[in-house]
């Protein structure tokens, strides 16, 4: 049973009821001093600019742990070369995250490369860019978290009745990768909105679960690499929270220097906590929390541990935001409503309050066609909603 001592305050010494506003650090305990230094392998990265039709690299500068791809046009396929030779071709697929201004057709994928020293990518009728990554074998470097961020020692927490939670500091986020300044030199501010929907994604590719922290760092590096160089072109992780195959919950998008993931900026006009704007669903991000299951659930549903953590996370978020997980919501993009220069009607869709990437596309094709969160997992979403509602009655 999940109690009020939820993952949102999992690193704190005291139990905090969810009725306490989750966006004010002063109300959930004192801020810690600067987080202890964490030493992690330096992310090795090399970008390959976009090439028409595809790209072939027979010898990389370093063995890869991951290969990030971004392509235009039709579906892409990839094969890897290790010291044992070339693998078979396989489709490149992944959940296409993006900001509300993401409009380019095509796809993106982060491929688990497992010591690949070469690769080939093909995209019929389009162009491919690639970013070569290794988040496992690089020289150790110190990653220091900014003041006020949950320390690694506290963030690496297994609750007695809830999921294990890792803050950004605990999984080794290099905060210098976040885009804090725009190209014109102006600050890149965070935006906050009251929450109306919760969206479930899957990443769309298998990964090495024994190196899960390194995989999260690779996803972070990949999503913050420009699209023309093989990444997603985001200013930070697109998802608010990520859930590993064994149920560990990872803090995703940066939301400020308080102790709590996802939320910040005080209560909204409706008195409910406000979420930081993410970049997980092009056109429909504001007011929409994105939770991503790491891995690929095209052919198999998540294991029990990941499912339990997903239900706990969704129940905690729904309770904190006053949402009914079994309801339907008429979503109207609040960022569009607040934009005085917008001439088109605000983007909108009627979706389940707890929904999926695929269901957004069914409600509004502008959300982009996708199988996310996987053809094996998607049919279980009504069960997810019932289990979330049941958990909420036990808080």
What are the tens digits of pLDDT across the range 105-116? 678 899 999 999
The secondary structure of 47-74 as a DSSP string is EEEEEEEEEEESS-SS-EEEEEEEE-SS
Is residue 85 classed exposed, middle or buried when 0-12, 13-18 and 19+ CB atoms within 10 A define those classes?
exposed
Query: What average pLDDT does the structure give for the chain?
Result: 86
Calpha distance 246→209 (Å, rounded): 8
Q: Is the pLDDT of residue 161 over 80?
A: no
Right CATH for 7-35+144-392 from 3.40.50.300, 3.40.47.10, 3.40.80.10, 3.40.1280.10: 3.40.80.10
**pLDDT at res. 125:** 79
User: Could you give the dihedral angle defined by the CA atoms of residues 371, 251, 253 and 100, in that order, rounded to the nearest 10 degrees?
Assistant: 20
The encoded tokens of residue 123 equal 């995209």
Average confidence (pLDDT) over 47-73: 94
Calpha distance 93→90 (Å, rounded): 9
Average confidence (pLDDT) over 381-386: 97
Residues forming a β-bridge with 141: 40
Most confident of 68-72, 96-100, 130-134, 166-170: 130-134
Which residue from 3, 4, 12 is spatially nearest to 259, judged by alpha carbons?
12
Using a pLDDT cut of 90, give the percent of the chain over it: 66
26 CB neighbour count, 10 Å cutoff: 10
Q: Regarding the domain delimited by 41-134, which CATH topology (the fold level of the hierarchy) does it fall under?
A: Jelly Rolls (2.60.120)
> 0.75 cut: is pTM over it?
yes
Backbone angles phi, psi at 275, to 5 degrees: -95, 150
Q: Is the pLDDT of residue 12 over 50?
A: no
**pLDDT at res. 1:** 36
Q: Is the pLDDT of residue 42 over 60?
A: yes
Q: Which residue, chain included where needed, has tokens 């929450």?
A: 195
Give, in order, the Cα–Cα distances in Å from 22 to each of 30, 97, 351.
Answer: 14, 26, 26
CB 276 within 8 A of CB 240: yes
Which band of pLDDT confidence, cut at 50, 70 and 90, is reported for residue 20? very low
**pLDDT at res. 107:** 86
**pLDDT at res. 163:** 87
The encoded tokens of residue 28 equal 């959930």
Average confidence (pLDDT) over 345-364: 94
Which band of pLDDT confidence, cut at 50, 70 and 90, is reported for residue 154? very low
CB 231 within 8 A of CB 224: yes
CB 217 within 8 A of CB 172: yes
Taking each helix axis from N to C terminus, what angle separates 304-321 and 381-392, rounded to the nearest 10 degrees? Answer: 60
**pLDDT at res. 102:** 62
**Under 8 Å CB-to-CB from 152, ≥6 apart: which residues?**
35, 36, 38, 145, 167, 169, 170
Calpha distance 122→128 (Å, rounded): 7
Calpha distance 349→363 (Å, rounded): 6
More confident residue, 342 or 34: 342
How distant is the alpha carbon of residue 61 from its chain centre? 28
The encoded tokens of residue 183 equal 């190209």
What are the tens digits of pLDDT across the range 200-234? 999 999 999 999 999 999 999 999 999 889 988 99
Domain boundaries, the chain: 7-35+144-392, 41-134
Calpha distance 390→324 (Å, rounded): 11
Give, in order, the Cα–Cα distances in Å from 95 to each of 155, 221, 266, 346.
Answer: 27, 16, 31, 24
Q: Which residue, chain included where needed, has tokens 């939670």?
A: 165
The encoded tokens of residue 100 equal 């509300």
Calpha distance 164→309 (Å, rounded): 9
**pLDDT at res. 27:** 36
What are the tens digits of pLDDT across the range 300-313? 999 999 999 999 99
How distant is the alpha carbon of residue 335 from its chain centre? 20
Q: Which residue, chain included where needed, has tokens 């496992």?
A: 136
Pairing of strands 197-202, 192-194: unpaired
Which band of pLDDT confidence, cut at 50, 70 and 90, is reported for residue 18? very low
Which band of pLDDT confidence, cut at 50, 70 and 90, is reported for residue 35? low
The encoded tokens of residue 307 equal 């499912």
């Amino acid at each position: 049973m999940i109690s009020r001592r939820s993952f949102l305050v999992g690193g704190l010494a005291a139990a905090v009821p969810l009725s306490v506003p989750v966006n004010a650090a002063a109300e959930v305990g004192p801020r810690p001093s600067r987080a202890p230094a964490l030493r992690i392998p330096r992310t090795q990265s090399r970008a390959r600019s976009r090439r028409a039709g595809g790209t072939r690299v027979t010898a990389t500068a370093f063995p890869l742990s991951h290969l990030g791809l971004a392509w235009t046009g039709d579906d892409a396929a990839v094969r890897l070369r290790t010291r044992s030779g070339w693998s078979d071709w396989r489709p490149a697929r992944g959940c296409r995250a993006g900001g509300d201004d993401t409009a380019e057709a095509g796809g993106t994928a982060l491929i688990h490369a497992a010591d690949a020293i070469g690769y080939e990518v093909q995209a019929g009728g389009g162009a491919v860019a690639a970013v070569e990554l290794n988040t496992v074998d690089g020289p150790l470097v110190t990653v220091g978290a900014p003041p006020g961020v949950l320390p690694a020692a506290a963030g690496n927490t297994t609750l007695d009745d809830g999921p294990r939670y890792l803050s950004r500091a605990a999984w080794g986020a290099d905060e210098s990768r976040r885009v804090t300044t725009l190209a014109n030199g102006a600050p890149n501010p965070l935006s906050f909105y009251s929450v109306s929907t919760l969206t479930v994604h899957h990443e769309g590719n298998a990964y090495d679960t024994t190196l899960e922290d390194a995989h999260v760092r690779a996803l972070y590096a990949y999503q913050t690499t420009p699209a023309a160089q093989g990444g997603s072109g985001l200013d930070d992780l697109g998802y608010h929270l990520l859930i590993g195959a064994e149920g560990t919950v990872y803090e995703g998008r940066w939301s400020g220097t308080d102790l709590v993931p996802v939320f910040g900026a005080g209560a909204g006009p409706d008195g409910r906590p406000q979420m930081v704007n993410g970049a997980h669903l092009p056109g429909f991000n504001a007011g929409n929390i994105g939770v991503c299951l790491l891995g690929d659930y095209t052919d198999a549903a998540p294991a029990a541990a990941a499912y339990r953590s997903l239900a706990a996370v969704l129940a905690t978020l729904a309770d904190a935001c006053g949402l009914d997980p079994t309801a339907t919501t008429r979503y109207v993009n609040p960022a569009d409503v607040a934009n005085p220069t917008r001439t088109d009607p605000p983007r909108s869709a009627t979706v389940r309050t707890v929904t999926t990437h695929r269901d957004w596309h069914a409600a509004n094709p502008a959300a982009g066609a996708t199988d996310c969160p996987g053809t094996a997992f998607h049919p279980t979403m009504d069960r997810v909603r019932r289990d979330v509602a049941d958990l909420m009655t036990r808080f």
